[in-house]
């Protein structure tokens, strides 16, 4: 058993050494974690992530440049998202990228519902500027974050026999939900400064208002003005919700690990630990909440992944 684990660790280290952490842009944790799968499964994750990210960036980039989306532009953006989804579901009029995605969906039995959930959240993004309540934010996250997370968990859970893949033996949406929401809450706290400087706000309006804040005050603090106690209380509320889902994630990881091969168990630990790394940097009382403070450097990310590998102990 010891020799077997040693051989596996050497294999993981070979993969680790193949990753150029300096060239990773915006810390796509999904792709770092998926790199430890076999090549064809990693490519499936990369293709799915790339297509969803391209649509998300298209909308966010427009808001960053122009602050708002005009009525005519909203209709055009919504039509584009609906056409993208319809083409994939009907497998007609596909672009090369969409055909590539369909091929991966068929090969790995990826369900369509994550793509549908993602499209709903993108359409929400087109027609709304933020979220009136925490509940509306969590509903949005069920598409914007749970969609890519569910595809990741699905690919973690598939099994291969006689050259053919079979779907996971557990409820993927249930398994992906806590980690997705945990990571998304960590994501919006981490990117507070960057988002607000780019006309983007993901903090729920009810929590903003209840803490004596507004969008203008948040923007001034993102620009470097002193952080108010109301801001720290806002972050504290979001941090507490994130911590709840963090604990749910730990329980869910233990529940599904027996259904995963060892590489998938490792990739699950890596993606969780990379978000935990950011979560642990959140200092509600004394933090500055700048991009530099909350974003780990490539070296720090590399060291964290190596630490997970060295401490990895698979089950079953």
Per residue in 95-133, pLDDT tens?
787 888 889 999 999 998 998 888 888 888 888 888 999
Centroid of chain to Cα 277: 14
Q: In whole angstroms, what is the distance from residue 169 CA to residue 184 CA?
A: 26
Q: In whole angstroms, what is the distance from residue 79 CA to residue 65 CA?
A: 21
Residue 261 has pLDDT above 80, yes or no: yes
Q: Which two structure tokens, joined as six digits, stand for 289?
A: 């909440």
| Topology, domain 28-311 | Farnesyl Diphosphate Synthase (1.10.600)
Residue 300 has pLDDT above 90, yes or no: yes
Q: Which two structure tokens, joined as six digits, stand for 237?
A: 């509320």
Beta-bridge mates of residue 161: 164
Beta-bridge mates of residue 160: 165
pLDDT at residue 4, rounded to an integer: 46
Q: Are 155 and 45 in contact (CB under 8 A)?
A: yes
Residue 194 has pLDDT above 90, yes or no: yes
- pTM beyond 0.85, yes or no: yes
Q: In whole angstroms, what is the distance from residue 165 CA to residue 33 CA?
A: 20
Beta-carbon contacts of residue 220 (< 8 Å; ≥ 6 apart): none
Q: Are 289 and 196 in contact (CB under 8 A)?
A: no
From residue 85, alpha-carbon distances to 4, 43, 292 in Å are 44, 21, 37
Residue 225 is given by DSSP the state: P
Q: In whole angstroms, what is the distance from residue 270 CA to residue 113 CA?
A: 25
Q: Are 51 and 282 in contact (CB under 8 A)?
A: no
Domain boundaries defined on the chain: 28-311
pLDDT interval class at 202 (50, 70, 90): very high
Average pLDDT over residues 265-278: 97
Which residue carries 């990739």 as its tokens?
A: 267
Beta-carbon contacts of residue 28 (< 8 Å; ≥ 6 apart): 49, 53
Beta-bridge mates of residue 159: 166
Residue 2 has pLDDT above 50, yes or no: no
- What single string gives the DSSP state of each residue in 286-312? T----HHHHS--HHHHHHHHHHHHHH-
From residue 78, alpha-carbon distances to 90, 124, 201, 277 in Å are 18, 9, 20, 36
pLDDT at residue 60, rounded to an integer: 73
């Amino acid at each position: 058993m010891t020799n077997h684990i040693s051989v596996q660790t050497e294999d993981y280290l070979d993969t680790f050494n193949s990753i150029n952490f300096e060239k990773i842009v915006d810390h796509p944790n999904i792709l770092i974690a998926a790199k430890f799968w076999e090549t064809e499964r990693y490519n499936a994750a990369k293709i799915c992530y790339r297509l969803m990210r391209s649509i998300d960036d298209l909308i966010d980039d427009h808001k960053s440049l122009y602050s708002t989306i005009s009525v005519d532009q909203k209709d055009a953006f919504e039509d584009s998202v609906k056409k993208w989804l319809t083409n994939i579901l009907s497998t007609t009029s596909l672009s090369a990228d969409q055909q590539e995605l369909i091929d991966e969906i068929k090969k790995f039995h990826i369900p369509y519902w994550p793509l549908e959930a993602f499209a709903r959240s993108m359409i929400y993004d087109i027609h709304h500027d933020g979220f009136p309540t925490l509940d509306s934010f969590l509903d949005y996250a069920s598409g914007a974050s749970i969609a890519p997370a569910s595809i990741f968990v699905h690919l973690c859970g598939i099994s291969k026999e006689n050259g053919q893949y079979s779907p996971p033996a557990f409820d993927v949406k249930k398994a992906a939900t806590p980690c997705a929401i945990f990571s998304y809450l960590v994501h919006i706290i981490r990117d507070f400064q960057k988002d607000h400087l780019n006309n983007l706000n993901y903090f729920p309006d009810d929590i903003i208002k209840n803490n004596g804040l507004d969008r203008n005050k948040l923007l001034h603090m993102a620009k470097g003005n002193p952080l108010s106690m109301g801001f720290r209380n806002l972050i504290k509320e979001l941090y507490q919700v994130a911590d709840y889902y963090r604990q749910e994630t730990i329980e869910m990881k233990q529940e599904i690990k027996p259904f995963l091969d060892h590489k998938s168990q490792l990739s699950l630990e890596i993606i969780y630990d990379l978000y935990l790394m950011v979560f642990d940097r959140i200092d509600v009382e004394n933090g500055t909440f700048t991009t530099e403070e909350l974003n780990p450097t490539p070296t720090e990310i590399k060291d964290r992944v190596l630490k997970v590998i060295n401490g990895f102990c698979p089950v079953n």
